[in-house]
Structure 1
Amino acid sequence: MSTAVSDKAAVSAAPVMDAPKQRGYWGTVGYRLRHDPVTLFFGVLLITIILSAAFAPWLAPLDPYRESIVRRLKPIGYMGYLLGTDELGRDMLSRLLYGGRITLTMGMLPVVIATLLGGGLGVIAGFAGGIINTAIMRTMDVFYAFPSVLLAVAISGAMGGGVGNGMIALTLVFIPPLCRVAETATTQVRNLDFVDAARATGAPTHMVLRHHVLGNVLGPILIYASSLISVSIILASGLSFLGLGVKPPEPDWGLMLNSLRQAIYVSPLVAAMPGIAIFLTSVSLNMVSDGLRSAMDVRS
């Protein structure tokens, strides 16, 4: 008897292990992202690029528009020019910082607008079904039939180029694919049991749509939209490279690539810097988007 009592006392005196912490959905997503070193690295790199562009007026060492013919195409580190000079003697570091503001704006803003418009149309089409779905999706198929690059060039060329027209062209390019993704996700959720149960209780249509449908389709829409930002940046740079986007002397990575292509044999590293900036930004966006997709996949 004394042995049994002592065993019970020992068990009661032993430290009790805490139960595993229960995380919600977004808590699990955050936990996965914090323990994904690749996503964290490229996320920090992406944030650095965005902050550098946002604070370009304070970070740029020189005026990005100031020309100096006697200092054109100077190498890295020449007389205080940390990244050299371009074909007109302008400071490359300053122009890269200021160019990031225009390039990132032209890359992100069209995707945000297209997500609101295309995602909204897709949710309406998927939830309503019938003739509404047919009318919206067949209209999207007309735009979806053209390759995105050709469609962006055609729309921007027809509208006359420029930053505003370029962003309108990119917005029109991204509305159809976002609409299709939203329509597919909404159609799948619309037929689930909890949506039918909400309807059976007499809940209004807008309440069912807001509380039971949108919460389940926003994830796929946002993940897909995040993957389009890198494509948008490349297309925006391509429009500027072709003369259909930003006009000189405004700094833009695509326009800088075009103006420096004649200097590739004279100063190859300086001429490649805008392309390197586009490459690093696009890779960072793709890696962050992939990490976010993996973290939000509840099946994993």
Structure 2
Amino acid sequence: MARRRVTMADLATAAGVSKPTVSRALNGHPDVGAETRERILRLAEEIGYVPSMSAQALRTGRFKMLGLLVPNIAWDWMPDVIRGVTEEADRRGYAILLQPMDASAKTEADFVERVLPVLPVDGLVLVIPPGLVERIAELHAGGLKVVAIDDRVERPQFPSVETTDRESVRRVTEHLIATGRRRIAFASSDDTRNLRLRRDGYRDALAAAGLPETVLMTSDLDHRALAAEVARRADEFDAVVTAFDDLAFTVLAALRDAGRRVPEDVAVTGFDDVPAARLTHPALTTVRAPFYELGAAAVHMLIQAVEGEAIPDRVVLPAEPVVRESSRPGDVHPLNGE
């Protein structure tokens, strides 16, 4: 038999007070004494009382629930984003409703038009599916509180948090130049805004050093063909800056299969610093993106907006290069190493 839900009336009876007193105690009203409040809170935990979300929303105008919309929870860095979101929300007394999305336009449209309007949330944190930007912007203009964690699309028409893609790749490319590399290629796929910024950072460093550039691109989600091209053309360059760690892993494997030594013949760098970056052979030089901090910052901004505070249009958190064996000849390590 299903257990009956514990009500506010049950809690009031257990505490020997009225329902209004319980309500005021749970909501922190100053007219309830500290001893009474503590006793009610203790009893609520003991008997398993959970406030009704709908009743709370009617009373306060808020659900104390935030939506988290993500296009792919299987990405290696997504758990850190989700952890940052949930831990900051919990610290502020909010719950998180996670909504994964697939890549289909129909699913995106159905979500915006049919699901999102009835979700019991006070606001939305999202890693932007590019096809949803305009629809989310329309909802934001209509009053929905939104903060984006992303830099893959052009500036959205709502607040966002992002990281230093261009600056960080410039720095890691400068590291390669400082270690004596002079023929440095850039490899990437998916020509999204964040990857263009990373390519620009690579170009900034080469232009400042007076060095030529070699850009290798693919639109194929399977990185093996691009990695094979890198290995086939490895005589043309002595380092490869890849736009993200997953591509760097594939490039490392292709170079190894082609008999090329890393970093002796070709240095390799990535971007993201997913956990596997420490486990490759050699360990991968990369850029550590602040995924946990991005999630926490987005929730902090969103709760400020929900609670009526002004928030900035854009917050930028730094990503830091991490030098490991895939680019480090001998003891040369001008950046933060591990």
TM range, smaller chain: under 0.3
State TM-score, norm by structure 2.
0.21
Higher strand proportion, which one? 2
State TM-score, norm by structure 1.
0.23
Higher helix proportion, which one? 1
